[in-house]
C-alpha cells in the first residue's frame, strides 16, 4: 500500500501573506502496517494524512525525550505494571 500525506502548512515566507504549500511525501507501507493504518482509521475516524502527521509528531516527541536522557514509560492502570519505551 502506498499513501501520500501532507505535512501541514508551513509559515508564510517573508513579505508573503500566503502560507507555503504543505510538504508532500509518498510512503510505501508493508502489508502489516497498511492493515494497522486501516484499523486506526476505523477506530479513530481520522484520515491517513492526520494519522501520519500525528505519528511523526509522536515519534519526534518520544525521540527528543529519550535523547534528553529521560525515560518514557507506559503503565497498565489495572495491574500497575510499568514498561519502558525504547526506539530501535
Residue 11: domain span: 2-84
* CB 86, CB 73: distance < 8 Å: no
Residue 55 phi/psi, 5-degree rounding, is -65, -45
User: Is 80 exceeded by the pLDDT of residue 20?
Assistant: no
pLDDT tens digits along 34-63: 999 999 999 999 999 999 999 999 999 999
Beta carbons within 10 angstroms of residue 34's beta carbon: 14
Tell me the three state secondary structure of residue 39: helix
pLDDT (0 to 100) of residue 22: 84
Tally of structural domains, the chain: 1
Residue range 8-26: mean pLDDT, rounded: 69
* Res 21: pLDDT: 78
C-alpha 83/C-alpha 73 separation (Å) is 6
Query: Which residue pairs from 35-41 have beta carbons closer than 8 angstroms and sit at least 24 positions apart in sequence?
Result: 37/1, 37/3
The C-alpha cell 499513501 sits at 3
Amino acid at each position: 500500500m502506498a499513501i501520500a500525506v501532507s505535512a501541514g502548512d508551513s509559515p508564510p515566507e517573508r513579505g508573503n501573506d500566503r502560507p507555503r504549500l504543505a510538504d508532500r511525501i509518498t510512503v510505501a507501507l508493508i502489508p502489516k502496517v497498511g492493515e494497522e493504518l486501516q484499523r486506526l482509521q476505523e477506530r479513530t475516524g481520522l484520515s491517513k494524512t492526520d494519522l501520519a502527521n500525528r505519528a511523526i509528531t509522536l515519534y519526534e516527541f518520544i525521540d527528543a525525550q529519550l535523547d534528553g536522557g529521560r525515560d518514557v514509560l507506559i503503565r497498565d492502570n489495572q495491574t500497575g505494571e510499568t514498561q519502558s519505551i525504547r526506539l530501535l
